Chain A
Amino acid sequence: MQVAWDFFQRQILGMAWLNSAIGSGLIGIGLDIAGRIGASIQFFLFDMIKILVLLSVLIFIISYIQSHFPPEKTKKILGRFKGIGANIVSALLGTVTPFCSCSSIPIFIGFTNAGLPVGVTFSFLISSPLVDLGALVLLVSVFGARIAIAYVVMGLVLAVAGGTLIDKLGMEQYVERFNAIKKIATIEVPELKRKDRLLYAKEQTLETVKRVWVYVLVGVGIGALIHNWIPTEWIQLVLGKNNPFSVLIATAVGIPMYADIFGTIPVAEALFFKEVGVGTILSFMMAVTALSLPSMIMLKKVLKTKLLVTFIGIVSVGIIVIGYTFNALGFLFV
């Protein structure tokens, strides 16, 4: 059983055979893959292809699943839950909901006007970019199942706790009131046939690859740099296990940046290879995806500054805590 799983992880998800094939190909055209340039090219090609292929397959499957969960339907589902249960369901649904920064405002308004507590909406908004089914599978290929599952669980915990905390702090008053909206229509959510779902999945796949490949390219580029060009000592100095500030640095760097989670994976791979702590890497990935300048600008339109700052503060602190915890407990996973 273990052998079968290892095979799956290394060859199917990890595509180790592809790496070998590319390596052989490069040697064939005279490149020295043990040298820096050769190794960089090998890493670059391998990672690019691997991620794009996995990305396409995963997005397709997951979009198919996601076609069952448009936010309009989520709004109705969430109306039936109360208390922390609502936050938990919200965080879970956020995971399976396709996310686009420009949805965040209509979703926020829609949920709030449907009577859902502000915290429940935040649980959704935190988990949506942070935890992604597709990324989960990719994480398994890079870090193994244990770390991947830990990332997802921690992301959900952060989403639920963050949302609940925002409610408990009574932050509802800091949501901009939209006087223009008297009544929000509840639209009929059409039941899709299988053909529609397959079509939707295909559209989402094409559109996501188009949107995301640049991030993957940059991510793989940075990953290659880290892998082969930046001395391990430098990385160790700033982000290594002996630097008590590594999590803080990783988080601080990640927050203003935005990259699709698929773009962060090659960077995470490379950092992992250079023996950066698991917690530090997770913090970086979470900071990049959960918070970003574009989404903060969008949220500024619906939230008063105090709430926005609280939101950013809670998520940041949560990410940092998760980072340090994982660094401390890292030995359990690797």
Chain B
Amino acid sequence: MTIKVLGACCRKSKETFENTKLAIQQLGLEATVENIGDMAEIASYGVMTTPALVIDDQVVSFGKFLSKDDAVKIISKIARQ
């Protein structure tokens, strides 16, 4: 599972990145979590409001700050599919 957290400019995005990493730890999943700050790359996903969560190249959440529990919910839903 490749997970990207888009957005590195403000505290909201950085915290979402940290929360996502914690979520993966909690779920015990094999996954890489990257924090993308490059605007061009963010825009290429069609995202205009950060933070955004991308799992295996699918945008699953955007414009919302994610707590660890939010991240756990979203990721486990995808993992089960």
Real binding pair: yes
Residues on A close to B: CB < 8 A?
A: 70-72, 75, 98, 100-103, 105-107, 109-110, 113, 178, 180-187, 200, 203, 207, 301-302
Tell me how many residue pairs across A and B have CB atoms closer than 8 Å: 73
Q: Digit string of B41-52 for contact with A (CB within 8 Å is 1, else 0)?
A: 111111111100
Contact call A180/B12, Cβ cutoff below 8 A: no
Chain A neighbourhood of B44, CB < 8 A:
180-185
Contact call B48/A107, Cβ cutoff below 8 A: yes
Contact call B40/A102, Cβ cutoff below 8 A: no
Which of A98, A110, A182, A302 meets B46, CB within 8 Å? Answer: A110
Please measure, in the bound complex, the distance between the C-alpha atom of A200 and the C-alpha atom of B59, giving whole angstroms. Answer: 19
Of all chain B residues, which has the CB nearest A72? B48
Chain B neighbourhood of A75, CB < 8 A:
48
Contact call A70/B49, Cβ cutoff below 8 A: yes
Chain B neighbourhood of A110, CB < 8 A:
43, 46-48
Contact call B40/A100, Cβ cutoff below 8 A: no
Chain B neighbourhood of A101, CB < 8 A:
9
Please measure, in the bound complex, the distance between the C-alpha atom of A164 and the C-alpha atom of B77, giving whole angstroms. Answer: 46
State which residues 1-41 of B face A: CB under 8 Å: 7, 9-10, 12, 39-41
Please measure, in the bound complex, the distance between the C-alpha atom of A113 and the C-alpha atom of B39, giving whole angstroms. Answer: 13
- Residue in B10, B42, B45, B63 with the greatest tally of chain A CB atoms within 10 Å: B63
A105-B50 contact given A70-B63, A187-B62, CB 8 Å threshold: no
Q: Digit string of B39-74 for contact with A (CB within 8 Å is 1, else 0)?
A: 111111111111000000001001111000000000
Task: Please give the number of chain B residues whose Cβ is less than 8 angstroms from any Cβ of chain A in the complex.
Answer: 21
Please measure, in the bound complex, the distance between the C-alpha atom of A180 and the C-alpha atom of B44, giving whole angstroms. Answer: 9
A186-B46 contact given A70-B63, A102-B9, A200-B64, CB 8 Å threshold: yes
Contact call B40/A109, Cβ cutoff below 8 A: yes
Contact call B45/A187, Cβ cutoff below 8 A: yes
Chain A neighbourhood of B59, CB < 8 A:
185, 187
Further 7 A-B residue pairs, CB within 8 A, beyond A106-B49, A110-B43: A102-B50, A109-B40, A180-B44, A181-B43, A184-B46, A185-B44, A301-B39
Chain B neighbourhood of A103, CB < 8 A:
48-50
Chain A neighbourhood of B48, CB < 8 A:
70-72, 75, 103, 106-107, 110
Chain B neighbourhood of A184, CB < 8 A:
43-46
Chain A neighbourhood of B50, CB < 8 A:
102-103, 106
Chain A neighbourhood of B47, CB < 8 A:
72, 106, 110, 187
Contact call A180/B40, Cβ cutoff below 8 A: yes
Contact call A185/B45, Cβ cutoff below 8 A: yes
Please measure, in the bound complex, the distance between the C-alpha atom of A178 and the C-alpha atom of B43, giving whole angstroms. Answer: 10
- Residue in B43, B45, B63, B65 with the greatest tally of chain A CB atoms within 10 Å: B43
- Give the Cβ gap from A206 to chain B, nearest Cβ, in Å: 10
Closest 6 CB pairs of A and B: A102-B9, A109-B43, A185-B46, A71-B48, A105-B39, A187-B46
Please measure, in the bound complex, the distance between the C-alpha atom of A103 and the C-alpha atom of B50, giving whole angstroms. Answer: 7
- Residue in A71, A110, A183, A186 with the greatest tally of chain B CB atoms within 10 Å: A110
Chain B neighbourhood of A301, CB < 8 A:
39
Please measure, in the bound complex, the distance between the C-alpha atom of A185 and the C-alpha atom of B46, giving whole angstroms. Answer: 5
Please measure, in the bound complex, the distance between the C-alpha atom of A105 and the C-alpha atom of B47, giving whole angstroms. Answer: 11
Please measure, in the bound complex, the distance between the C-alpha atom of A106 and the C-alpha atom of B37, giving whole angstroms. Answer: 11
